[in-house]
Structure 1
């Protein structure tokens, strides 16, 4: 069982809780009662939301954007369960709509968003469902999402020298290390590339 506080935000489509949604909510409430979940927050949202700055449901749109940002970082998709649709009225007015799922979970560990369920991995054709997430929460564990977070590769442009780890000095795209004399540039992939210099072993280049 994880020692970090677990908070679940459960979004359900208003106004009714129908099977099997109500049983899922009941299970989450049981998790909170049994202590496998520290906090359970229930939120309702409409079936569809107009995607515009004047929409009365800005909180739903902001929630969707937060979910999309999380999914992009992990390399997974939340479309579906979210869907977008264009509707044209008899007067020719066009509206862009966001269709919400019946139920969606946000999983927080130590106040950090670590999962949105359901979601899918297009490369493996796998789907992480709310049922699976709830079953894992019932055991006191945090459900593991599909995909993975990007990791920094060696030599990535993080501002430190690839050779000694000291801070580099940026001279208009030419990077130099005052500690060991490393000299180089950054390639298209964002990685440091060494630039051989005949004086590297003797002195650190001067950066204007």
Structure 2
């Protein structure tokens, strides 16, 4: 309804398309300027030729056309300045717009991060981590606790037995040097050569009378 009454809404051209259009216009103006410069040079050469031919009227006509061309060149120069000015403004506006868009995107990203990382959620997450850590510690302690026969051992009795063993070991270490010093060192005794008995003279066997005499002496001695 509104489009029928007021017509279709105008579509604003984008900055890039406008810059492209301005570049095309600038190139067109530069080409026209070059053409006019060539025409000016031609008119000057013609005026010189007519001057040499003493044709003053034709030479003045060439100079008039040259003036017209120079006026157009000046206009084209003004047009080019306006186009350059417009391009500089659009490029600056484009840079400003892109900067604002980037800043706006950064602000939105920071808002999203702040919303996603609420301080309450962070505290809750840390509590969960601490709880899980404590659970793991309890599980490790339960797994490392002795079971079966090892669980019935009295730690105090084991400590007392260990102290007795340490005391006995210390006593052995203290007594060992004394026993060693009291015990004489057994050194090998040099062997002594025994004197060789002198050879006995072999007596001849006794006669019967000598045997009777020896027996009688023995009885008398008794």
TM bracket (short chain): under 0.3
Pick 1 or 2: higher relative contact order, CA cutoff 8 A, min separation 6.
1
Task: Give the structure with the larger strand fraction.
Answer: 1
Per residue, is there more helix in 1 or in 2?
A: 2
Of structures 1 and 2, the larger Rg is shown by 2
